[in-house]
């Protein structure tokens, strides 16, 4: 299973209403429905993807985040998921804002342009980076709005969004919870997954949980990076 | 339901027939009038299972009829949807019990303006009451009741059939499990009404129309009806499809320097017109186009389309449009999907890429087949079929 899918699966509340924006063939939605009993809906641009979703019995609307999020009513979902796509949107700021109008929480993953490989590629080779997270050459990449972790956290602040949790992702390795504001993480993280919500009064009695289902003591940012030990791994296995 | 079943008589229960509702079971119309006695002509394909859970109602378009997958008795042509209904096809009669009925106001056996008015013993003609899409659906619901079916596995239709699907979701959601609306709209636009008005005026301008009483006079307004069909037919095709099919190709070598059908497209349209009058009634055309023009699902639900679907949250919807359909465009379908989302309904939407225009819904469109197959397979799974 893809590492980002594992993370998303861990953080989505059972039985929640989920919109997967750019749901491709619907494999994540299917996983969420099977494992978490969510009420899922997909948004997908490619006809092949839409057909595949329908064949899986998923509800899917053909469209893309740039144009069609406006059609969904406010607060129609508990979670809106946008995986590795924000950087290819025409208006990422609007899309991000729309995700959190439609859903109470957004799960957004994106490549980090501040990663050391990217920086070194520019610094020493003087060329646009081609890395595992950004494999396409500049002239064919769909990524037109790349950003670093620092840029993204700035945008969240500007939109008055709260980062409930953040984890660094890299291919084949388990996710690592991080504090995205830390300069070091901006060097180290190849990709990051954010759990976002609007900065509003937290629901009374509701316990804020991080990506790993653990109660958050400070509501602002995910807890300090933790060392992976067998203890924390066991704690993570608890259902969120 | 039992009373209806008792009151109704079948002349052919297996593959369809005409269901006759007596005077005591009138169809109440939106206009305030009532229609009695009422006849509903229908065809069925496949068998109803013992749980009565595999019934699919197919709603036909403006000039369609109940012969969705069987040879047309007048033209001898294959059914209008035999590409979709049949063994191994998305609507498989070996799996589903498929019902298609002629709409009221039609001219293929259901009560319409060409039926005999019991009050006068003459054809209704213009004394037939104006009907609506909701009236058509109410008559279908009477048929479904009479067939002993409490819940339809699916209701499906394209164009006007799609509007009936939406009306079903608004009026009888408790009888639906799933609904498929293809190339339709939730209301008739000014342009839609305008084209229909051209058609109606063509019919009424024909001296043989005789204010609708042509039957008694022993004539038929064939020229007017043919022109109506020609104008409408253009709206069913895209410019690209017309260009691809005909371009500026001529019928014969050289121009006639007159007003014969020089161009192939002219000849094609003339053929469409003349073959149509053999199978369709001019007054039916007036009544059904009127029903379409009156259709505005939002208006009948406080101006909010989502309100129409408020009771249909359990229904699985699939909305399909065609990229080159300018009669009922993708924007209209998106409008329906938006309302379904707002109402909290589970809706899927696909725009099928094609240059065939509005008529694509009964032409060879592999993506339509795959979409329908996927949707029905998963819905059937959930329904335990």
Residues on chain A touching B344 (C-beta within 8 angstroms): 76
Please name the member of A47, A54, A60 whose beta carbon is closest to the beta carbon of B353.
Answer: A47
Work out the angle at residue B295's Cα, subtended by the Cα atoms of residues B289 and B299, and round it to the nearest 5 degrees.
155
Whether B99 contacts B157, CB under 8 Å: no
For chain B, what percent of residues have pLDDT higher than 90? Answer: 90
B59-81 in b/e form (b: 16+ CB < 10 A) is bbbbbbbbbbbbeeeeeeeebbb
What pLDDT does B339 receive? 93
Cis peptide before B37 (omega within 30 of 0): yes
Q: Can you name the residues that pair with B17 across neighbouring β-strands?
A: B42
Residue of B nearest to A41 (CA): B346
| B31 catalytic per annotation | no
Residues on chain B touching A53 (C-beta within 8 angstroms): 348
What pLDDT does A193 receive? 96
pLDDT at B4 over 80: no
Half-sphere exposure of B252 (CA within 13 A, CB side): 7
pLDDT bin (cut points 50, 70, 90) of residue B364 is confident
pLDDT at B226 over 90: yes
pLDDT bin (cut points 50, 70, 90) of residue B326 is very high
pLDDT at B6 over 70: no
Is the Cβ pair A41, B371 closer than 8 Å? no
Cα–Cα dist A195/A210, whole Å: 8
Residues on chain A touching B342 (C-beta within 8 angstroms): 73, 76
Cα–Cα dist B233/B247, whole Å: 17
pLDDT digits (tens, 9 = 90+) for A130-166: 998 899 999 999 999 999 999 999 999 999 999 999 9
Residue of B59, B291, B16, B43 lying closest to B161 (CA atoms): B59
Is the Cβ pair B375, A54 closer than 8 Å? yes
pLDDT at B7 over 50: no
B385 touches chain A (CB under 8 A): no
Task: Determine which one of B171, B262, B293, B325 is catalytic.
Answer: B325
What pLDDT does B379 receive? 92
Give me the residues of A, 4-43, that contact B with CB < 8 A.
Answer: 41
| B159 catalytic per annotation | yes
B interface mutation test: which of A34, A63, A71, A101 has the most B CBs within 10 A?
A71
Residues on chain B touching A57 (C-beta within 8 angstroms): 377-379, 381-382
Average pLDDT over residues B129-143: 98
Is the Cβ pair B382, A60 closer than 8 Å? no
Alpha helices in chain B (DSSP H): 2-7, 133-146, 160-171, 190-205, 214-217, 222-236, 239-245, 264-277, 282-294, 305-308, 330-342, 366-383
What pLDDT does A211 receive? 52
| B145 catalytic per annotation | no
Please name the member of A56, A61, A76 whose beta carbon is closest to the beta carbon of B349.
Answer: A61
B154 touches chain A (CB under 8 A): no
Instruction: For residue B186, count CB atoms less than 10 angstroms from its CB and return exposed for 0-12, middle for 13-18, buried for 19 or more.
Output: buried
pLDDT digits (tens, 9 = 90+) for B171-225: 999 999 999 999 999 999 999 999 999 999 999 999 999 999 999 999 999 999 9
Whether A54 contacts B350, CB under 8 Å: yes
Is the Cβ pair A54, B349 closer than 8 Å? no
Whether A119 contacts A125, CB under 8 Å: no
Is the Cβ pair B346, A63 closer than 8 Å? no
Q: How are beta strands B97-101 and B55-59 bridged, if at all? A: parallel
User: Mean pLDDT for chain B?
Assistant: 93
A189-224 in b/e form (b: 16+ CB < 10 A) is bbbbbbbbbebeeeeeeeebbbbbbbebeeeebbee
Average pLDDT over residues B307-323: 96
Cα–Cα dist B96/B84, whole Å: 13
Q: Which structure tokens are listed for A59?
A: 């509800």
pLDDT at B13 over 90: no
In this structure, the number of other CB atoms found within 10 A of the CB of residue A187 comes to: 16
Please name the member of B316, B341, B350 whose beta carbon is closest to the beta carbon of A50.
Answer: B350
Q: Which structure tokens are listed for B250?
A: 């001529």
pLDDT digits (tens, 9 = 90+) for A24-38: 999 999 999 999 999
Phi and psi based region of residue A217 (left: phi greater than 0; alpha: psi -120 to 50; beta: remaining): alpha
Residue of B373, B361, B372, B292 lying closest to B323 (CA atoms): B361
What pLDDT does A170 receive? 85
What pLDDT does A139 receive? 95
Cα–Cα dist B41/B216, whole Å: 24
Q: Where are the beta strands (DSSP E) in chain A?
A: 17-21, 39-44, 59-62, 77-83, 103-111, 161-170, 173-177, 191-198
Instruction: For residue B218, count CB atoms less than 10 angstroms from its CB and return exposed for 0-12, middle for 13-18, buried for 19 or more.
Output: exposed
pLDDT at B323 over 80: yes
pLDDT less than 70: residues of chain A: 200-240
Distance from CA of B342 to the nearest CA of A (A): 5
Is the Cβ pair A71, B337 closer than 8 Å? yes
Task: Determine which one of B67, B188, B196, B358 is catalytic.
Answer: B358
Whether B308 contacts B340, CB under 8 Å: no
Task: Determine which one of B53, B101, B110, B159 is catalytic.
Answer: B159
Q: How are beta strands A191-198 and B34-35 bridged, if at all? A: unpaired
Whether A6 contacts A175, CB under 8 Å: yes
């Amino acid at each position: 299973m893809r590492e980002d899918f594992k993370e998303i699966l861990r953080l989505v509340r059972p039985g929640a209403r989920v919109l997967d924006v750019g749901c491709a063939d619907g494999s994540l939605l299917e996983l969420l429905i099977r494992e978490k009993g969510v009420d899922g809906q997909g948004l997908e641009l490619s006809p092949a993807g839409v057909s595949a979703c329908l064949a899986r019995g998923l509800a899917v609307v053909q469209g893309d985040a740039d144009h069609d999020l406006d059609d969904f009513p406010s607060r129609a979902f508990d979670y809106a998921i946008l995986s590795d796509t924000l950087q290819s949107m025409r208006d990422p700021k609007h899309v991000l804002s729309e995700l959190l109008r439609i859903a109470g929480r957004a799960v957004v993953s994106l490549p980090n342009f501040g990663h050391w490989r990217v920086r070194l590629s520019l610094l020493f080779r003087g060329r646009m980076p081609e890395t595992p997270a950004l494999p396409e050459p500049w002239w064919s990449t769909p990524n037109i709005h790349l950003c670093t972790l620092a840029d993204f956290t700035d945008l969240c602040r500007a939109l008055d969004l709260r980062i409930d949790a953040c984890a660094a992702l890299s291919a084949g390795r388990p996710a690592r919870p991080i504090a995205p504001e830390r300069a070091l993480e901006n060097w180290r993280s190849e990709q990051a997954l954010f759990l976002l919500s609007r900065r509003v009064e937290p629901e009374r009695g509701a316990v804020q949980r991080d990506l790993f289902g653990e109660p958050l003591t400070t509501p602002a940012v995910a807890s300090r990076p933790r060392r992976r030990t067998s203890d924390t791994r066991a704690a993570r296995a608890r259902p969120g | 339901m039992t009373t209806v079943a008792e009151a109704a008589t079948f002349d052919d229960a297996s593959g369809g027939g005409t269901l006759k509702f007596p005077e005591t079971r009138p169809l109440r119309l939106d206009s305030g009038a009532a229609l009695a006695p009422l006849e509903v002509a229908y065809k069925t394909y496949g068998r109803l299972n013992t749980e009565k859970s595999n019934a699919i109602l197919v709603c036909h378009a403006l000039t369609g009829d109940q012969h969705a997958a069987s040879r047309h008795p007048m033209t001898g042509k294959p059914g209008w949807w035999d590409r979709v209904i049949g063994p191994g096809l998305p609507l498989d009669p070996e799996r589903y019990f498929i019902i298609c009925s002629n709409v009221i106001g039609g001219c293929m056996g259901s009560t319409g303006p060409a039926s005999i008015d019991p009050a006068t013993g003459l054809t209704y003609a213009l004394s037939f009451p104006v009907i609506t899409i909701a009236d058509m659906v109410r008559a279908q619901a009477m048929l479904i009741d009479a067939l002993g079916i409490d819940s339809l596995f699916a209701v499906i239709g394209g164009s006007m059939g799609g509007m009936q699907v939406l009306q079903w979701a608004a009026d009888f959601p408790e009888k639906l499990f799933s609904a498929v609306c293809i190339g339709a709209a939730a209301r008739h636009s000014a342009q839609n009404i305008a084209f229909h008005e051209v058609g109606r005026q063509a019919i009424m301008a024909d001296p043989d129309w005789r204010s609708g009483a042509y039957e008694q006079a022993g004539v038929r307004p064939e020229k007017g009806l043919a022109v109506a069909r020609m104008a409408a037919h253009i709206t069913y095709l895209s410019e690209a499809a017309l260009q691809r099919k005909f371009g500026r190709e001529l019928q014969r070598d050289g121009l006639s320097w007159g007003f014969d059908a020089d161009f192939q497209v002219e000849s094609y349209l003339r053929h469409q017109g003349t073959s149509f009058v053999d199978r369709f009634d001019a007054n039916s055309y007036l009544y059904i186009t009127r029903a379409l023009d009156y259709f505005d699902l939002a208006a009948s639900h406080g101006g909010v389309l989502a309100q129409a679907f408020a009771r249909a949250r359990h229904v699985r919807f699939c909305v399909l449009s065609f990229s080159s359909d300018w009669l009922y465009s993708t924007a209209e379908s998106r409008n329906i999907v938006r309302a379904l989302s707002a109402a909290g309904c589970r809706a899927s939407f696909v725009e099928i890429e094609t240059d065939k225009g509005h008529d694509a819904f009964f032409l060879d469109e592999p993506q339509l087949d795959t979409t329908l197959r996927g949707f029905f397979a998963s819905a059937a799974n959930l329904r335990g079929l």
